[in-house]
Chains A and B, each alone.
Chain A
Amino acid sequence: MKKNKNLGPVVAGVRFKNPVLLASGTAGDGQKLKDFFDLNELGGIITKTLTFNPEEGNPAPRIIEVFGGLINSIGLQNEGVRQFVKNSGPFLKKIKTRIIVSIGGKTPEEYGQVLAHLEKNSAGFISAYELNLSCPNVKKGGLLFSRDEKLVRKLVAKVCRATRKPVFVKLSIACDLLKISQVSLEAGASGLSLINSIPAMAIDTKTGQPILGGISGGLSGPVIKPVALAAVYQAYQEFKAPIIASGGIFTAEDAVEFLQAGARLIAIGTANYIDPTAAIKIIRGLENFGF
């Protein structure tokens, strides 16, 4: 049976032309990829995580390559949601792919503020939200919040009440993943985004000091694929909820593994750095697999 090219997956009520998204933090707002391919071919773009106020990010060095991957400690550098809407809004309104905006904050209230500003000012270019409860590179919020079940329940419920759009909660394996997934879904999340980069670090043996300016960071790339796959598989088996899967996806075959594990959408991150056309190659490759 030939796949109708115009029909991609419907996930949490949103039609995507194909299951391939660009992962948060790896494509900015998409503009800088224009030279490499037609952004309209993508299933969607998940933006860099936005906080209410601008965040500077961590001191350099912010990355270190390791075997099979890289560790990043960017630290959620972003211009803040108000500047984002001004700077990126006009561009995002024009492109014909789904935009999922990632929201973060130092406090639960801040997540709410970011969402409220977007709901009021984004003029409809946002299809869904990704709630970042898993960034390993910030001292407040992110991963730390996901270790507090009560906080997660309250935060997710508040965010979901404030929008009609689907909310995916992005989680890390460094929290009680199944428990926090359950709490998120019970609190109103439409789905899960699994997994964020894995807490990791490297030490310079000449100095005995951590190499990264942020001390530790998040591991991403091919080396984490088996870990991400297990997380997606377990979460799907447990909850049968919509899942955006990410973690070391480099080829169409990698993507298929995650779709077969139960994910509805997949996100490409580190692969973009090695080949900025990776997402397009995966989209074409998936067509051969019938996705």
Chain B
Amino acid sequence: MIFNLKAQVIKNFEIIPGYWHLDLAALPIARSFFPGQFVEVKCGSGLTPLLRRPFSIYQADSKKGRVTLIYKIVGEGTAQLAQVKKGQHLEIMGPLGQGFQLQKKWRRIALVAGGLGILPLFSLVKKARAKNPQMNFEIFWGAAAKSHFFCASEFRGIGVKFFFYATEDGSKGAKSFIPQIFKNHLAKGAEYDQIFACGPRQMLAKVAGISKKFQIPAQVSLEERMACGFGVCLSCAVKTRAGYKKVCDDGPVFRAEEIVW
């Protein structure tokens, strides 16, 4: 069931320059969402911008009925979103899409994230460890610079112990791109039951290659320009081995091997 509702803004504040944290009161969405799903938010009150903007759900508190989004100001929509004050309302639709698939028997899971690709992975780890404390997650995280790893402490708080960082400027971890770091780690003999990856398409394509080479199944969360967000307009098409599928409805999570990279 997809809900379309007016959510009250509980908090909307800047974390680091350009990156914002938004808490919304959206009980039906908070209660029913699965990690990996997203919401579509109407930014601004007029016709500019026109289309809703999709955001990964960072986390949701089903008791308090809160949905948390973290967003970067990249254009008109997000710039308007940053202007919204506590107490105001936003039209939000969700939860949308297919989330990550998790199996109880898995023990070691690798998460590969590029920049804000880390966001949908947080609630995956939180929910997984709450039900299956024997599951261990290791994060391979690449970003532009050190300051972008602002939610690392939240992952530590839910029991993630191993972090491998890579930054474009070398300010933290290797001065490299994260797929290479992940590949090196696997080449040394590291083993995982599953890979979950989210980030720029180029990064995901590399992870898909690594998944195939090391024979570790991978689930990737994709992005594509969206209009409706709920599967009617066919705008967000991605080429798969079974023809074009919709990122908003058949995805955003796909098995890496399904995608025609």
Given A56-B243, A274-B50, A274-B52, A63 and B232 contact (CB-CB distance below 8 Å): no
Residues of chain B contacted by A54 (CB below 8 angstroms): 243
For A212, the closest partner residue in chain B by CB is B225
For B235, the closest partner residue in chain A by CB is A63
For B93, the closest partner residue in chain A by CB is A276
**Chain B 221-252, CB within 8 Å of chain A: the 1/0 string?**
00011111111111111110001100001000
Structural contact, B2 and A57, CB atoms closer than 8 A: no
Q: Distance in Å from the Cβ of A270 to the closest Cβ of chain B?
A: 8
Query: What is the total number of residues of chain B having a CB less than 8 Å from a CB of chain A?
Result: 32
Q: Which of A25, A70, A276, A277 contacts B50 (CB 8 A)?
A: A70
B4 on interface, CB distance cutoff 8 Å: yes
CA distance A36 to B232 in the complex (A): 13
For A33, the closest partner residue in chain B by CB is B232
Residues of chain B contacted by A275 (CB below 8 angstroms): 4, 42, 91
A12 on interface, CB distance cutoff 8 Å: no
B103 on interface, CB distance cutoff 8 Å: no
B1 on interface, CB distance cutoff 8 Å: yes
Given A35-B2, A60-B237, A63-B235, A68 and B50 contact (CB-CB distance below 8 Å): yes
Structural contact, B2 and A221, CB atoms closer than 8 A: no
CA distance A74 to B227 in the complex (A): 11
Given A74-B234, A77-B237, A60 and B51 contact (CB-CB distance below 8 Å): no
A164 on interface, CB distance cutoff 8 Å: no
Q: Distance in Å from the Cβ of A200 to the closest Cβ of chain B?
A: 14
Structural contact, A57 and B48, CB atoms closer than 8 A: no
B47 on interface, CB distance cutoff 8 Å: yes
Given A56-B243, A57-B244, A72-B227, A277 and B232 contact (CB-CB distance below 8 Å): no
CA distance A25 to B49 in the complex (A): 22
Query: What is the total number of residues of chain A having a CB less than 8 Å from a CB of chain B?
Result: 37
Q: Distance in Å from the Cβ of B14 to the closest Cβ of chain A?
A: 25
Q: Which of A32, A59, A70 contacts B239 (CB 8 A)?
A: A59
**Chain A 46-76, CB within 8 Å of chain B: the 1/0 string?**
0010000010111111111101111010100
CA distance A77 to B234 in the complex (A): 8
A127 on interface, CB distance cutoff 8 Å: no
Show 22 residue pairs from A and B whose CB-CB distance is below 8 angstroms, ordered by the A residue. A25-B234, A32-B230, A32-B249, A54-B243, A57-B237, A57-B244, A59-B239, A61-B224, A62-B225, A65-B49, A65-B51, A68-B47, A68-B48, A72-B235, A74-B233, A74-B235, A77-B234, A77-B237, A274-B50, A274-B51, A276-B4, A276-B93
CA distance A26 to B231 in the complex (A): 10
Interchain residue pairs A-B with the least CB separation, the first 3: A63-B235, A273-B228, A273-B227
A81 on interface, CB distance cutoff 8 Å: no
CA distance A120 to B244 in the complex (A): 29
CA distance A27 to B233 in the complex (A): 7
Structural contact, A272 and B232, CB atoms closer than 8 A: yes
Residues of chain B contacted by A33 (CB below 8 angstroms): 232
Contacting residues of chain A (8-54) with chain B, CB-CB under 8 angstroms = 25-28, 32-33, 35-36, 48, 54
Q: Distance in Å from the Cβ of B33 to the closest Cβ of chain A?
A: 14
For A79, the closest partner residue in chain B by CB is B243
Residues of chain A contacted by B235 (CB below 8 angstroms): 62-63, 72, 74
Q: Distance in Å from the Cβ of A84 to the closest Cβ of chain B?
A: 14
